[in-house]
Amino acid sequence: MAKKTTGSNSISRRRLLTTASAGAVLAASPFRINLLQAQESTIKVGFPVPLTGPYGTEAQDQVRAAEVAIAEFNEGGGLNGRKAELLVRDDKLNPGEAATRTLELIEKEKVNFIVGSLSASVQLAVNNVTKERGIIYNSISQSDEINEAKDFSKYTFHEALTPHLTAGAVGRYAFPKFGKKVAFLTADYAYGHEMVRGFQEAGKAFGVESLIDVRHPLGTTDFSTLLPRIQALKPDILVISNFGRDQQIALKQATDFGMKKSMKIVAPILLYTGRLAAGAQAFEGVIGGTSYYWGIEDKLASAKAFNDRFRKMHGGKVPSDYGALGYAGVKALLMGAKAAGSLDTDKVIAAVEALKYDYYKGPEYYRKCDHQAVQSVLIIESKSTPQKGDADVFNVIATEEPNEKNLRTCEALGHKS
């Protein structure tokens, strides 16, 4: 802006000030803000996951997979041109923190959907916030409770497996094969209790005898004091129900004590990330369940497409089991919005309920009464040595096809028909 050469300082400063303040008023005016919003209004997906803490590795993989879902949606044209974005937050595996982050995502960031978290208690905390605020929430970790009538709401969806389904599937495979005398080593919190209950209910049909259920606190690093007692009872099967690092250490120490020689070790879930962290020897020969293993891409086109996209976006890595849930959880809601043609909550809910999809692991749909994703459970066994590269860690030895009968009934969960 040209200055008057003979103008006194006060005049040009005043002009500068008035111009600047006029500009500021214009910039802050509602008129300009509306222009901005109309151009950039993205579909916001809030993603609270425990980036720090013992499940950090799994959570980070969920973020990576969710990014794949967002990218695919945006490239596919989005919702009538509106793109989606992912807002990741760290809930630190703490229910209070998760509730705060979720509230912040809803109130401050004005998210349209929430997808997350890991751990049964944290997802219940998130669900409490979302159902109160009327925001659709897709939970991506194991829980029996979130389907129950007292926690459920029409805004709640559950893409992940339930302990009842997972433990049941593994039990139905293992009990007829390996024997009736079963010992349990269980992490003493909701996940462990629900898994044991799932195994014992499935075991009734096979006449399974539950010899002992040894409970250990979360975060135990030395199981040596718990194992002799289990060995003395001479079980056919040892079911170890814990997660993350607890699982890695328990399997390693059970191997050290030579327990694999006299009994079959079974876990409700075998984590891909856990196997990589613990090494082949600890996991060798252990049988477990999982929602997803990248190796099924040989037989399933949707898995191959997902894996390839993930490899392309993330340096050749393959997605883990929990990671894939991050993908499916986000994609289901975005696809529902696309099918509904709008972001209106009730319309999206109806669209997601009607979805019949195969995004990465075969056919799935959401059961009406509790919005539980009805899907397959893969039974896997850990290999002693990888043959086709470091990621070749599991063999899929059986697949339990999607069947509502394997879930807890709507009535048992408290839903009125």
Partner 1 sequence: MAGLSFDLIALQLFTGLALGAIYVLFAIGLSLIFGMLTVVNFAHGAFYMVGAYVGLFLLSLGGNFWLCLVAVPLIVGTIGLVVERFLIRPLYGRGIDYPLLLTFGLSYVMVELIRIAFGKSGYPFDTPEILQGAVNIGVGYFPLYRLFVIGIAAAVLLGLWLFLERTSFGLIIRAGARDPQIVRVLGVNVSRVWLFVFGIGSGIAGLAGLLAAPLQGAIPEMGATILAEAFVVTVVGGMGSIGGAVIAGLLVGVVVSMTSLFAPEMAKVSIFALMAIVLLIRPQGFFGRAGLMS
Scan residues 39-68 and list those touching partner 1 (CB under 8 A): 56-57
Q: Which is nearer to partner 1, 30 or 228 (CB)?
A: 228
- 315 binds partner 1 per the rule CB under 8 A: no
Q: Using the rule CB under 8 A, give the single segment among 23-31, 116-124, 225-233, 359-367 that binds partner 1.
A: 225-233
Q: Minimum distance between the CB of residue 228 and partner 1, rounded to whole angstroms?
A: 4
Q: Minimum distance between the CB of residue 393 and partner 1, rounded to whole angstroms?
A: 13
Q: Which of 84, 86, 146, 278 touches partner 1 by CB under 8 A? A: 278
Q: Which of 18, 21, 225, 403 touches partner 1 by CB under 8 A? A: 225
Q: Which is nearer to partner 1, 61 or 151 (CB)?
A: 61
Q: Which of 82, 154, 181, 252 touches partner 1 by CB under 8 A? A: 252
- 228 binds partner 1 per the rule CB under 8 A: yes
Q: Using the rule CB under 8 A, give the single segment among 9-17, 67-75, 227-235, 405-413 that binds partner 1.
A: 227-235
Q: Minimum distance between the CB of residue 78 and partner 1, rounded to whole angstroms?
A: 35
- 281 binds partner 1 per the rule CB under 8 A: yes
Beta-carbon neighbour count of residue 244 at 10 Å?
A: 22
Q: Which is nearer to partner 1, 231 or 399 (CB)?
A: 231
- 74 binds partner 1 per the rule CB under 8 A: no
- 241 binds partner 1 per the rule CB under 8 A: no
Q: Which is nearer to partner 1, 73 or 283 (CB)?
A: 283
Whether 158 contacts 375, CB under 8 Å: no
Q: Which is nearer to partner 1, 222 or 390 (CB)?
A: 222
Scan residues 161-220 and list those touching partner 1 (CB under 8 A): 188, 214-217, 219
- 384 binds partner 1 per the rule CB under 8 A: no
Cis peptide before 12 (omega within 30 of 0): no
Partners of 156 in beta bridges: 137
Q: Which of 229, 299, 312, 368 touches partner 1 by CB under 8 A? A: 229
Q: Minimum distance between the CB of residue 323 and partner 1, rounded to whole angstroms?
A: 14
3-state per-residue secondary structure call for the chain? CCCCCCCCHHHHHHHHHHHHHHHHHHHHCHHHHHHHHHHHCCEEEEEEECCCCCCHHHHHHHHHHHHHHHHHHHHCCCECCECEEEEEEECCCCHHHHHHHHHHHHHCCCCCEEEECCCHHHHHHHHHHHHHHCCEEEECCCCCHHHCCCCCCCCEEECCCCHHHHHHHHHHHHHHHHCCEEEEEEECCHHHHHHHHHHHHHHHCCCCEEEEEEEECCCCCCCCCCHHHHHHCCCCEEEEECCHHHHHHHHHHHHHCCHHHCCEEEEEECCHHHHHHHCHHHHCCCEEEECCCHHHHHCCHHHHHHHHHHHHHCCCCCCCHHHHHHHHHHHHHHHHHHHHCCCCHHHHHHHHHHCEECCCCCCEEECCCCCEEECCEEEEEECCCCCCCCCCCEEEEEEECCCHHHCCCCCCCCCCC
- Quote the tokens at residue 19: 């111009």
Q: Minimum distance between the CB of residue 248 and partner 1, rounded to whole angstroms?
A: 7
Q: Which of 153, 200, 231, 342 touches partner 1 by CB under 8 A? A: 231
Size of the site for partner 1 (CB under 8 A): 31
- 238 binds partner 1 per the rule CB under 8 A: no
- 386 binds partner 1 per the rule CB under 8 A: no
Footprint on this chain of partner 1 (rule: CB under 8 A): 56-57, 188, 214-217, 219, 221-222, 224-226, 228-229, 231-233, 245, 248-249, 252-253, 256-258, 277-279, 281-282
